Amino acid sequence: MGGNEQKYINEAFKTNWIAPLGPNVDAFEKEIANYIGANGAVAVSSGTAAIHLALSLLDVKKGDKVFCSSLTFVASANPILYQGAEPVFIDSEPDSWNMSPQALETALRDACYEGELPKAVIVVNLYGQSAKIDELITICNQYDVPMIEDAAESLGSTYKGKASGTFGKFGIYSFNGNKIISTSGGGMLVSNDTVALNKARFLATQARDPAPHYEHSEIGFNYRMSNILAGIGIAQLQILEQRVKARRLIFERYYHKLAHIPGIYFMTELGNTCSNRWLTTFTIDEKEAGISAKLLLDSMAEENIEARPVWKPLHMQPLFKEVRYYSHNEIQNVSEQLFKTGICLPSGSNMKVEEQMRVIDCVQNTLKLKV
C-alpha cells in the first residue's frame, strides 16, 4: 500500500458507502479514464469480469469463435468458455513475446476461407510489454474483427506515446493483489464507446431494467466494484508512476548484473514503447549457460527465492487440449520455447536492494557452479 488508502476507506465508512457503487467508484473510473486518455471506464470485480463483459458486449455466444493469445494466464480465455464460445489460440513472436501478427494473419485467413471469422481477438500485453499493436490492429481491421486489449499486466506502459489498453474496441486492467497497483481484487473495462460502457454498467449490476420493482429482461452479472476497494484504487493510482519507476529500476539492476552472462536473454522492450516491467523475465539457453531453466529455478527455491517459469501456453493446458492453435510459423513455436526456457524473477515494487542482490548472487553462483 502507498499510505494514503486509509483516507478513502475511512471516508467510505464515514459516509456509509460500503456496498458496491458509491462516490469512490465514480471517482476511480474517472481518474483511470483521464490517466489513460479514454472516454470512459467501468470499475468491476476483476480483470476476468472485464473481459467477460467485453465479450458480452460484442455478442459472443455459443458456437462463436474468439482468437486469443496462447502465452497468458488462463483468465484471458476462461470468459470465452463462459459465453459458450470456442477459443482459438495464437502463438507469440520472439520480439515482444506477445501475439504473433504472422500467426494471427494465417488464422484469420483460414477463418475467412472457412466462413467462420471470430467475434473478437484478445491480445495480451505480457509482463507489461505491449504487443505489436499497429500490425495486429491492421490485420484485425482488414477482416473487420474487433480487438480486446488485455492490459491486465501493463497499466502504466505506453505504445508510441499512448497508454497501453486503449487501442482495441475494449481494454481491460486488473487490480489483483499481484498487479502493479492493487485494490485487493478488482478490474476495469475501458473504451471510447461510452454507449457500450453504459451497457456494461447495466450488465454488471445484474441487468436490472429501469422500473420501481426488480425487472430483468436479460442475463446480468454481479460484477461491480465495492466503494471501499475503489477508494484503495484511487490512492494506488496516485503512486502508479512511482511503481513504474521502481519496477524499471529493478529490471535495470537485474540487467546490469546478469545480461552479460552467456545464455541469459532478457525480455526486450520494443522500440517506441515503455514497459512498466511488471515482472523482470529472461530466457536461458541451456547450451550456452550450461544449465536449464528448471535447474536454475530449483536452485533459487533451495535459497527460499520464489521465481517461476513464464506462463504455460494455454494450448498446452489440459482444459484446452482439443483447441485449435496457430504457431508463429512452420518451424517456430515461440510460446512453447519461452515456457521451456523462461524465468520470472522476484520483482515487487517494494523490493530492497539487498533482497534483489540475494537473487542476483544466487543466479550468478548457480551458473558458476554449473559451467
Q: Where are the domains of the chain?
A: 5-239, 241-370
Domain 241-370 fold: Aspartate Aminotransferase, domain 1 (3.90.1150)
For residue 213, the SS3 value is coil
Residue 17: partners with Cβ closer than 8 Å, 6 or more residues away: 23, 24, 227
Please report the pLDDT score of residue 21 as a whole number.
85
CB 366 within 8 A of CB 291: yes
Nearest to 335, CA basis, from 123, 94, 77 = 94
Would you state the pLDDT for residue 279?
97
Contact 64, 85 (CB under 8 A): yes
pLDDT tens digits for range 60-103 = 999 999 999 999 999 999 999 999 999 999 999 999 999 999 99
- Within a 10 A sphere around the Cβ of 18, how many other Cβ atoms? 11
The per-residue pLDDT for 371 is 42
From the candidates 30, 179, 245, 257, give the one annotated as an active-site residue.
179
Q: What is the pLDDT of residue 370?
A: 52
Helix pair angle (227-237, 5-15), 10° resolution:
150
Q: pLDDT of 346-362, one tens digit each? A: 999 999 999 999 999 99
Predicted structure pTM score:
0.95
The dihedrals phi and psi of 268, each to the nearest 5 degrees, come to -85, 170
Whether 370 is a known active-site residue: answer no
Q: Where are the alpha helices (DSSP H) in the chain?
A: 5-15, 23-36, 47-57, 78-82, 101-114, 133-142, 194-204, 227-237, 240-258, 286-289, 293-302, 334-341, 353-370
Count helices and strands in the chain by DSSP H and E runs: 13, 15
Detail the DSSP E strand segments found in 156-230. 158-159, 162-163, 170-174, 187-191
Cell numbers standing for residue 129: 510489454
- CATH T-level assignment (fold) for domain 5-239: Aspartate Aminotransferase; domain 2 (3.40.640)
Question: How far is the C-alpha of 75 from the C-alpha of 54, rounded, in Å?
Answer: 13
CB 65 within 8 A of CB 118: yes
* pLDDT by 10-residue block (mean), the chain, 371 residues: 89 88 94 98 98 98 97 98 98 98 98 97 98 98 98 97 97 96 96 98 94 93 95 96 97 97 96 97 96 96 97 98 95 97 96 96 86 42
Query: How many CB atoms are closer than 10 A to CB 22?
Result: 22
Contact 334, 328 (CB under 8 A): yes
Cβ atoms of 281 and 127 within 8 Å: the answer is: yes
pLDDT tens digit sequence for 231-277: 999 999 999 999 999 999 999 999 999 999 999 999 999 999 999 99
What contacts 232, CB < 8 A, 6 or more positions away? Answer: 1, 5, 8, 9, 182, 183, 184
Residues 6+ apart with CB under 8 A from 371: 289, 290, 291
